[in-house]
Amino acid sequence: MNRDLEFAPWRFWAEADDQEQADQLGVQRAMSERRPEHRFAEKCFISALASIQCDQLVMGRSSYIAAGALVTGTIEMGSHSTINAYSIVRGPVRLGRAVRVGAHTSVIGFNHTMTDPDIEVFRQPISERGIEIGDDVWIGSHCVILEGVRIGDRSVIAAGAVVTKDVPAGAVVGGNPARVLRWRVPALAPSDATAASGSTRPATDLEQSLHAFGDLARDQATQVLARAWDAETGLFADKPGGPATVRAQCDAVEIADLLTGASPPQRSREETVAMLRGWQDPRTGLVGELGRPDTGTPPDLTDPDAAYHVLSVGYALDILGSSFPTPVHAVAGLSADDIVTFLDDLPWPEQAWRAGHWVDALGTALLWNGRQDAAGPPGQLEALIGWLVCRADPQTGMWGQGGKGGLLQPVNGFYRASRGTLAQFGIAVPHAERVVDTVLRHARDARYFTPERQNACNVLDVAHPLWLVRAHGYRTHEQTQLAERLLNDCLTRWRDGEGFGFSAGTGIGSARADAEPGLQGTEMWLSIIWLLADLLGLSGALGYRPRGVHRPEPATSIAGLGR
């Protein structure tokens, strides 16, 4: 074969002759036959001059490994990703879509420990926290990326950088150790960027409280998880003595990742991944609730638990560096017209929260399907986003209407619908200032927002929309006052070794059981605290950043899905 193509594999399928292409497909087929864990999409390329020593190698469409590369361990590559000449990628490593790993770069997903000075380092246990790289990431030549690092979408790693800490989405980092130099995507720059870059301004009382809370939550994370673990079933329950649920397993993954940077210690990462993947119904691509009677009919999107599990299981797997084994077939077959009809039929006037719940599941299913290159009929995502943009009320920015419950339903529905669509795909919110007006008006409703009546759902549904449109700078002083008040309320609710309850327990529709600490309340309030703190420019004090269902940055872009 033309040796130039070994070093420039992106040219292979355009320039190689028929025999060379057949030989390449034969190499991939032989690798898959030897190890079923090796999977290759269309138009992948592996140079004969590369050394592949993988336990598992998954390559998305049009992904390449060039000559001289050393690739070992467990490696997942999204579509249009390239490991260039003489690079070393040692798993566990997950590359998203459209990632370029420059020549002579080392991406090392494990490390030696050195805790015992009397034992040679090479004889000591291996730490294996892995590396996760998002979509549309450019990694320059001669970089070093170390174990445990997460690199956000649309970021750039400058040539020669040594990356020892997480890289936020949209950032350009460089140096040794790498630090943020500027923002490739200015809209993703956190409001606390000045503080994060080394400002010496005095810490405020609230900032000190956030710092202390972050330390406390991290110190007690293992206790919170252990409290919800049922050794008999080998599963988590939301609260001690409660039933094991799918969501509880996912909340445990999110809490462990947020506070410890690892998977829950009660089982290995591989065991958790296999369990979550094994729950997906191969016919619909959905995950039903545990203990659901087997009626012979698989769950569908009308099942509220199955709809939410599109989010919770999908993001738990994403955090763990994995994904659903099959597409969400219940959504993959929908045409653009089907989606418009589905949206028209949702109960927006009287049950906007429920309508938003279905939209959230639909948008997130399109995300997972797109990442698997399993997109359905053309125009699916465009139909969903177009409907939402065109149907938003220009007077309120909402899709639903108020009623006896005030603005609770439309605001809650806005969060659910926008989270899985506009926020998840990085699309501007229509009528953003009207959204702020509506949310601030709702936050004055004493039925839901006096300290004793707050619950995680209602506060999240205010915090996230305000955070989503923060760049508009509209009514900022009022937003700041609200964020400070809500933060001071919720920081007092952490219970040592137990975490957060879902609610204060005395609000409308709540019960005392809602106030008992559990995994759901803990995961939600941790995310709420980050969002509120970031509105104030103080999130850096917490020392954590959500990466799952409540992640602040987009999961991808429409362009990132290859549409």
Give per-residue pLDDT as tens, 302-312: 899 999 999 99
Mean pLDDT of 386-399: 96
**DSSP for 122-173, written as a single string:** GGSPEE---EEE-SS-EE-TT-EE-TT-EE-TT-EE-TT-EE-S-B-TTEEE
Strands 88-90, 70-77: pairing kind: parallel
Tokens of 202: 């005095």
User: Rounded CA gap, 397 and 389, in Å?
Assistant: 10
- Locate tokens 């309340």: which residue? 521
User: Rounded CA gap, 451 and 222, in Å?
Assistant: 28
Beta bridge partners of 237: 244
Kindly report which listed range (192-196, 210-214, 421-425, 488-492) carries the lowest average pLDDT score.
192-196
User: Rounded CA gap, 99 and 417, in Å?
Assistant: 29
User: What pLDDT is stored for residue 199 in this prediction?
Assistant: 38
Q: What average pLDDT does the structure give for the chain?
A: 90
Mean pLDDT of 15-27: 94
User: What pLDDT is stored for residue 511 in this prediction?
Assistant: 52
Confirm if 150 and 547 have CB atoms less than 8 A apart: yes
Domain annotation for the chain: domains and CATH numbers: 3-189 (2.160.10.10), 205-561 (1.50.10)
Percent of the chain with pLDDT over 70: 94
User: Rounded CA gap, 187 and 543, in Å?
Assistant: 21
pLDDT band, residue 375 (cuts 50/70/90)? low
User: What pLDDT is stored for residue 201 in this prediction?
Assistant: 42
pLDDT digits (tens, 9 = 90+) for 500-555: 999 986 544 445 678 999 999 999 999 999 999 999 989 888 989 999 999 888 88
CA of residue 224 relative to chain centroid, distance: 22
Number of alpha carbons in the 13 Å side-chain half-sphere of residue 409: 16
Phi, psi of 510 (to 5 degrees): -100, 170
Tokens of 360: 């959230």
pLDDT of residue 561 exceeding 60, the answer is no
Q: Considering just the CA atoms, what is the radius of gyration of the chain in Å? A: 24
Confirm if 97 and 77 have CB atoms less than 8 A apart: no
CA of residue 456 relative to chain centroid, distance: 19
**Catalytic amino acids?**
112
In sequence order, what are the residues at sequence separation of 6 or more whose Cβ sits closer than 8 angstroms to the Cβ of residue 418? 356, 388, 429, 464, 465, 468
User: Rounded CA gap, 252 and 181, in Å?
Assistant: 34
More confident residue, 189 or 342: 342
Beta bridge partners of 112: 126
User: What pLDDT is stored for residue 507 in this prediction?
Assistant: 45
pLDDT digits (tens, 9 = 90+) for 183-231: 888 777 765 444 443 333 455 689 899 999 999 999 999 999 999 999 9
Nearest Cα to Cα of residue 298 among 283, 308, 312: 283
In sequence order, what are the residues at sequence separation of 6 or more whose Cβ sits closer than 8 angstroms to the Cβ of residue 519? 224, 225, 228, 236, 238, 239, 248, 251, 252, 255, 499
What type of residue is 71? V
Confirm if 95 and 73 have CB atoms less than 8 A apart: no
End-to-end Cα separation, the chain, in angstroms:
33
Percent of the chain with pLDDT over 90: 72
Q: Where are the beta strands (DSSP E) in 60-95?
A: 64-65, 70-77, 82-83, 88-90, 93-95
User: Rounded CA gap, 479 and 473, in Å?
Assistant: 10
Nearest Cα to Cα of residue 64 among 521, 514, 296, 78: 78
